[in-house]
Structure 1
């Protein structure tokens, strides 16, 4: 077989200058219609054998894209470049240029490598040679990659057009089996649908995703792929609009061809709960709460500062214990409290629990806190939030395109974010009422407390308690209460009007 060179008609004459690396790559191919990497390798090996070139390495990347949209690393490609840098390779042999490159920056890196290493040629099995030691060869290689990039862009547009049509028809997107449905994405798997419904109901009444994940994993309930649930995975699953019979694409909604598992009202209540919370935890705090009164319910009676959960680890013969402490400084070193007040968490929380449950035993409290059940209000709040969030996104675009100056952007963004925070606070108020509303009809709050998660208990406490104040004083061990060395006189509960 003779080589058709687009840069230099002369082959490398000496075998020692023909050390060849075979590179093969295949993107993910669900239909298995494309040639696999083994076929590419066999074709390259046959070509090298005909030329009499020694193959010093074979580098296959299977299920990896070379396009600019891919984030998956090409491990074998990187190993090949390392061999080039060591001076072990003169020729890179491929079946076609797109197997090697669809990104111009990668080709430019190899062109620079050819200036300082023994690499000289990129060759395809149809006989096209790109001599990286000549201007003509470099120009031809650049043109080949440009053509590959253009074809990749065309392919991407074709796929997007097809996806848009399928979305408007409400058809499944593809991918793995969605939880709650069979492999066709259309038929409900009732055992999993019941889990979705249970999770939605419990999330709406105030249980955290952490509580749900712990419960589901302990009960042996697994994901669609048979793995343990994770907090972020469960929340992402619950808030998919697929479960209310909606197909989403490019920010638009279309009626889906599959049946819904949840109602739109349930989805809006879950979304309202998500939006009513802050986007993240303050620095210095973890995302896992263990304390009933953390998050603004317990304060130091000495300085008035907020107390935080601060567990003591087991050491020097002492057992581990959860406790509250007054925090002296924040993460920036600013003084925010006295740092002198500490109290064991268990007896404080038991005292607050009994006081709150006793309060709810009073029928007047139940009447006073009777929920409005205004789902329309929650729905409107969610819509308002989305509208205000869109305004913030538009401000970013206006600043990027020069419509707004930096000063105008900062001012407008502050105003818009304040409006968003206002909606979050209104949603938080609505969600507190929802937590009370969803107590099962055949249970009292006292009965529901024992089976509910920590997040729901915190909401119930927040309905009637303004704050819990730890009064300084009292010697440990001077009094015993419910098996603890603890004096209830040094805890003050301030109730909401």
Structure 2
């Protein structure tokens, strides 16, 4: 028999990747067998699974419950598999030893001695054994850090769960996944909106690496991960990796710039429903800053010519509400003096955008006038495009022309053109307009874009001001009441 009458078992595992709990179960079983052999009545069992005691970053809820029981005088001996399961942190060990000494609590280890912390010799032995534990942990940490630094310096990919777009070993790309990663980066750089990417991926049933729907945090982690640019962060510095990059480094850095921008709101608020909400200006306020917002209004289903409540500008009638049909509108954000049907205004603006992107000089939208030698680069690009056209015309007229030679010549000219345009490209415009300016069918390309990307294009190309419709009765839409001023 023993003098202990109020025993408590404490079990802890630092890491349980499978979350099976097998490790803490073994500790509990061994400690329970020791308690039975010593004849110690148990007052409680305390278990912290998959929680490290070393870093102190995560709370140990059952350890805190154990200390509460000690303070309440409910425990006179704590039984553990080894002393290292209880303390591996100098601060916690010092605080715990003092608490146990004050309340007359001893420690009994399955693999280790019995420690009476009410005596000086017991505290000395507990301190010495604890320092050995701390030494082992610190030595292991130094070894792991050295190994990690070596991997980083060698350019090896990170270990652990695979990143979406990469194979499990991190050395090869999964093309269908990486194409989605690239689209996500391009969309984010163009719009700055994470939630739109999440909605798009889930709507198309493009699932994450665990074959589950994406979350905003999951998309944000992907957009911040330097692995996609073949980079790896270690101790605050970026190192080049030897695995293939999924996206260009400048695209990754552009995304980080948006995340780091202190002026960027962490939460953009409710998702926009219409093209011009928060973009178009109110023409009645005419102060250059008050924008319109989206709304709706009820319209009688059975209206007659001349009724005041029927829809102005024509427009599309949407969902029904009782005896009225709800119609989407743009309204002044601060006053009731403006209310315009959404559909004809959006159509006018979209037609402007499509027409602008379809012009022969649409490629000039990519150009940054501040680039040194911009004029010479532009002249070079014009000359190269003319040569491409002339080459295509000559090939079409020559029935004996060599196809391979034509393709090689075309490829070389296109490479030179891409280099010239790349040197004078405006980074923000290039990403917003990517896939539009060079599209064979601009209208079809526009219609494939999501709402956030369309909004970014409109905001880049034009300043839109919406004024009152004027007049009364059912009247045709007057495009003169919507001012569209090109920005570029």
TM-score, with structure 2 as normaliser:
0.69
Query: Does the C-alpha gap of structure 1 residues 68 and 212 become closer, same or farther in structure 2, counting only changes over 3 Å?
Result: closer
Aligned position for 2:246: 261
Aligned position for 2:201: 216
Aligned position for 1:391: none
Query: Does the C-alpha gap of structure 1 residues 474 and 282 become closer, same or farther in structure 2, counting only changes over 3 Å?
Result: farther
Matches within 5 A, 1:218-367: 218-262=203-247, 266-272=248-254, 275=257, 278-279=261-262, 281-282=264-265, 285-286=268-269, 288-294=271-277, 296-302=279-285, 304=287, 305-307=289-291, 309=293, 311=295, 323-328=329-334, 341-343=338-340, 345-363=342-360, 366=362
The partner residue of 1:91 within 77, 82, 98 is 77
The partner residue of 2:45 within 49, 55, 58 is 58
Question: Once the 2 structures are TM-superposed, how far is the Cα of residue 55 of structure 1 from its aligned partner?
Answer: 2.0
The partner residue of 1:67 within 46, 54, 59 is 54
Question: Once the 2 structures are TM-superposed, how far is the Cα of residue 224 of structure 1 from its aligned partner?
Answer: 1.1
The partner residue of 1:439 within 428, 436, 439 is 436
The partner residue of 1:471 within 467, 474, 481 is 467
Question: Once the 2 structures are TM-superposed, how far is the Cα of residue 65 of structure 1 from its aligned partner?
Answer: 0.7
Counterpart Cα distance in 2 of 1:81 and 1:312 = 60
Matches within 5 A, 1:480-495: 480-481=475-476, 488-495=479-486
TM-score, with structure 1 as normaliser:
0.68
Task: Indicate if the aligned counterparts of 1:302 and 1:341 stay in contact, CA closer than 8 A.
Answer: no
Matches within 5 A, 1:193-212: 193-200=178-185, 209-212=194-197
Kindly indicate whether residue 36 of structure 2 is the aligned counterpart of residue 40 of structure 1: no
Query: Does the C-alpha gap of structure 1 residues 124 and 344 become closer, same or farther in structure 2, counting only changes over 3 Å?
Result: farther
Counterpart Cα distance in 1 of 2:81 and 2:478 = 81
- The more displaced of 278-287 and 354-363 is 278-287
Counterpart Cα distance in 2 of 1:135 and 1:450 = 80
The partner residue of 2:458 within 452, 457, 461 is 461
Counterpart Cα distance in 2 of 1:374 and 1:28 = 55
Deviations 1:76-126 (A, max 9, x none): 33443454455432221112222112234444654675588x662232224
Aligned residue for 1:459, secondary structure, equals: helix
Query: Does the C-alpha gap of structure 1 residues 148 and 251 become closer, same or farther in structure 2, counting only changes over 3 Å?
Result: same
The partner residue of 2:8 within 16, 21, 27 is 21
Counterpart Cα distance in 1 of 2:117 and 2:364 = 82
Task: Indicate if the aligned counterparts of 1:163 and 1:173 stay in contact, CA closer than 8 A.
Answer: no
Aligned position for 1:162: 147
Q: CA RMSD in A?
A: 4.3
Q: Any stretches of 5+ residues in structure 1 without a counterpart? A: 1-10, 329-337, 378-426
Question: Once the 2 structures are TM-superposed, how far is the Cα of residue 203 of structure 1 from its aligned partner?
Answer: 5.5
Question: Once the 2 structures are TM-superposed, how far is the Cα of residue 75 of structure 1 from its aligned partner?
Answer: 3.5
Question: Once the 2 structures are TM-superposed, how far is the Cα of residue 160 of structure 1 from its aligned partner?
Answer: 0.5
Task: Indicate if the aligned counterparts of 2:281 and 2:465 stay in contact, CA closer than 8 A.
Answer: yes
Aligned residue for 2:45, secondary structure, equals: strand
Task: Indicate if the aligned counterparts of 1:181 and 1:187 stay in contact, CA closer than 8 A.
Answer: yes
Question: Once the 2 structures are TM-superposed, how far is the Cα of residue 321 of structure 1 from its aligned partner?
Answer: 6.7
Query: Does the C-alpha gap of structure 1 residues 356 and 169 become closer, same or farther in structure 2, counting only changes over 3 Å?
Result: closer
Query: Does the C-alpha gap of structure 1 residues 370 and 20 become closer, same or farther in structure 2, counting only changes over 3 Å?
Result: closer
Task: Indicate if the aligned counterparts of 1:247 and 1:254 stay in contact, CA closer than 8 A.
Answer: yes
Q: Any stretches of 5+ residues in structure 2 without a counterpart? A: 298-318, 374-423
Task: Indicate if the aligned counterparts of 1:239 and 1:267 stay in contact, CA closer than 8 A.
Answer: no
Question: Once the 2 structures are TM-superposed, how far is the Cα of residue 150 of structure 1 from its aligned partner?
Answer: 4.0
Counterpart Cα distance in 2 of 1:429 and 1:60 = 58
Query: Does the C-alpha gap of structure 1 residues 28 and 273 become closer, same or farther in structure 2, counting only changes over 3 Å?
Result: closer
Deviations 1:238-262 (A, max 9, x none): 5533334444433445553533434
Task: Indicate if the aligned counterparts of 1:22 and 1:59 stay in contact, CA closer than 8 A.
Answer: yes
Question: Once the 2 structures are TM-superposed, how far is the Cα of residue 347 of structure 1 from its aligned partner?
Answer: 4.1
Aligned residue for 1:57, secondary structure, equals: strand
Counterpart Cα distance in 1 of 2:67 and 2:443 = 67
Question: Once the 2 structures are TM-superposed, how far is the Cα of residue 128 of structure 1 from its aligned partner?
Answer: 3.0
Task: Indicate if the aligned counterparts of 1:273 and 1:428 stay in contact, CA closer than 8 A.
Answer: no
Counterpart Cα distance in 1 of 2:216 and 2:353 = 29
